[in-house]
Structure 1
Amino acid sequence: MVAAAEKAVHCTVVGDGFVGKSSLVQKFVRGQFNPEYVATLKDEYTARVSTNGDVYRLHVTDIAGEHEDMSSLPTPEIFIVCFSLVDRDSLDSVENFWMPKIRSVGKYIPIVLVGTQSDMRNATENGHISAEQGRKIAKSLGTEYYLECSAKTDMKIREVFEKTVHARIRHCKKKVNIIKRMFSR
């Protein structure tokens, strides 16, 4: 029996600096957590994700957290947009900078919203974002999924990337169904 060819999904991870984007990606790809901050310009990673019996080659581009022009980057098939659950400004930046920037690159590109650094969240701390607040914002932004994770404790790291692949698959199926309906008229 011959194994089916791997399918590829290309995603880009964005969000402000210091929110844990690179830690999230490196924990998933390498299984390691580095507590030191290392500035990222543009790093490329590849990993395999199995879902529903299929294997996908996930190509991940981790870009700098600076508010820079993304038009020079290849358009990804999906975005992972990160903010820190302990930094309200990073969530405000998602709403006011990252989402408009992404929508200017590709209006219908699916997005997974990820709250990082959940291990540092304190429910009584002013400025920390609750799960309820995160879900509410994700819904208002029209993202495919909302997840919270911690690279330090390895909480839901794999799930972030599995949901990213699921969102891409679901998006492709929606496009195919729309095309079928258009041609069946």
Structure 2
Amino acid sequence: MLKRGGLNGVKVIVIGDGNVGKSSLLRRFVTGTFSNQYNRTVGVEYMEKSVCLRQRSTTVNLFLWDTAGQETVSSVKDIYYLDAAVAILVFSTDSSESFARIEMWKRCVERVCGSIPMVLCQTKFDLARQAAVVAEEVEKLAVKLQLPLFRVSTKDGFNVTQLFEYVAAMCVSEAPGGECGPSGKLKSEADGNGSTGAGNAGKSSKSGGAGKKSSKKSKKKKCSVM
């Protein structure tokens, strides 16, 4: 989606409640550092980093905007969201409230940006044993919203680079002539590859009726989890 943010880069907004680790996520990706100290973002924090997509022989410059989760004035949010190419919707493993508000944040983005590609991101996955959110409920929401789900740990660096490489690939795929699926997923994933529950999607029963039932069942479980 190089049409947004200019030919030299794309604007990516990182959205979610306060204290879910949005700033830590960006710092880990851009600088490779992590701090346990929480500093509330006031207004917006901006970072930039280039991502090399070797399989596509291209480099994507990501302009990363971390907006304050406490913003309440819609006009302020509108300014921050304007011209975004992709949105990362963030909630925390240790906060059920941040998870419950994901759909609200998604509506806020859509009101300003329309149907841009989005990714669901669960931070602080290193706290999975003390989770305040149920894994099955998270995957159900990803299916409902038709969004790929990334579980990351900025403390350990787990899955952080993969998240932003995926976002960069989404941007390229959304450019004219790209191969992005209708929900913002890459075509391979929209077809079922790399999706939870996709193992049976390509299998068919000898009985035509049973095959249809199996197909419907697999569609209900489909969720791209990384």
Shorter-chain TM-score range: 0.7 to 0.9
1:145-180 superposed Cα distances (whole Å, 9 cap, x missing partner): 2100000000011011011112222233268xxxxx
Correspondences of 1:133-148 after superposition (within 5 Å): 133-143=137-147, 145-148=148-151
Correspondences of 1:160-171 after superposition (within 5 Å): 160-171=163-174
User: TM-score, normalised on structure 1?
Assistant: 0.82
User: Which residue is equivalent to 1:108?
Assistant: 115
- The structural deviation recorded for 1:135 is 2.5
- The structural deviation recorded for 1:67 is 4.1
Contact 2:139 2:149 in 1 (8 A): yes
Q: Does 1:61 align with 2:68?
A: no
User: Which residue is equivalent to 2:45?
Assistant: 43
User: Which residue is equivalent to 2:32?
Assistant: 31
Query: Quick one: which amino acid aligns to residue 23 of structure 1?
Result: S
- The structural deviation recorded for 1:117 is 0.2
Query: Quick one: which amino acid aligns to residue 43 of structure 1?
Result: E
1:27-58 superposed Cα distances (whole Å, 9 cap, x missing partner): 00011001100111211101111112211111
Compared with structure 1, are the counterparts of its residues 103 and 32 closer, same or farther at alpha carbon in structure 2 (3 Å cutoff)? same
Given the alignment, which residue of 159, 162, 166 partners 2:162?
Answer: 159
Q: Does 1:82 align with 2:90?
A: yes
Partners of 1:45 and 1:113 in 2: how far apart? 20
Compared with structure 1, are the counterparts of its residues 134 and 126 closer, same or farther at alpha carbon in structure 2 (3 Å cutoff)? closer
SS in 1 for 2:101: helix
Partners of 2:120 and 2:128 in 1: how far apart? 17
SS in 1 for 2:35: coil
Structure 2: where are the runs of 5+ without partners? Answer: 1-6, 181-226
Partners of 1:165 and 1:113 in 2: how far apart? 15
Partners of 1:50 and 1:151 in 2: how far apart? 21
Compared with structure 1, are the counterparts of its residues 126 and 14 closer, same or farther at alpha carbon in structure 2 (3 Å cutoff)? closer
The CA RMSD measured in Å over matched residues stands at 1.8
User: TM-score, normalised on structure 2?
Assistant: 0.68
User: Which residue is equivalent to 1:118?
Assistant: 125
SS in 1 for 2:79: coil
Contact 1:86 1:129 in 2 (8 A): no
Partners of 1:49 and 1:161 in 2: how far apart? 8
User: Which residue is equivalent to 2:184?
Assistant: none
Contact 1:87 1:129 in 2 (8 A): no
Contact 1:113 1:138 in 2 (8 A): yes
163-172 or 42-51, larger mean C-alpha shift = 163-172
- The structural deviation recorded for 1:127 is 2.7
